[in-house]
Amino acid sequence: MSGKKVAVPDEIYERVQEIATAEGTTVEELTTKALERDLARRWLERVGREGQVRRGNMTDDEVEAVVERAVQESRARS
């Protein structure tokens, strides 16, 4: 796999290398998976915050009604 290089402190690299060896994977694979998980977590946090802002003070029933209307409108356009 070609890609960019990232510098990390020696202590972190050594810990990652130990884990990779113990799990039978490579440092690159373990690092890629860790970064993917962190990026996904950050995305979910952002989407969650945006959802809370959009929700405002709506109750669960009100949110469900808004979602149902949006689904019905989307289906009507299809």
pLDDT in tens, the chain (78 residues): 678 999 999 999 999 999 999 999 999 999 999 999 999 999 999 999 999 998 999 999 999 999 999 999 999 998
CA distance 11 to 35: 18
Do the domain assignments include residue 34?
yes
Number of domains in the chain: 1
Q: Phi and psi (nearest 5°) for 47?
A: -60, -40
Show the domain range for 27: 10-77
Residue 51 in domain: yes
Whether residue 4 lies inside any domain: the answer is no
Distance CA 19, CA 17 (A): 5
pLDDT of residue 36: 98
Residue 61 counted as domain residue: yes
pLDDT of residue 3: 83
Backbone CA torsion sign across 68, 64, 44, 55 = positive
What is the predicted pLDDT for the residue at 2? 73
Residue 1 lies in a domain: no
pTM above 0.85, yes or no: no
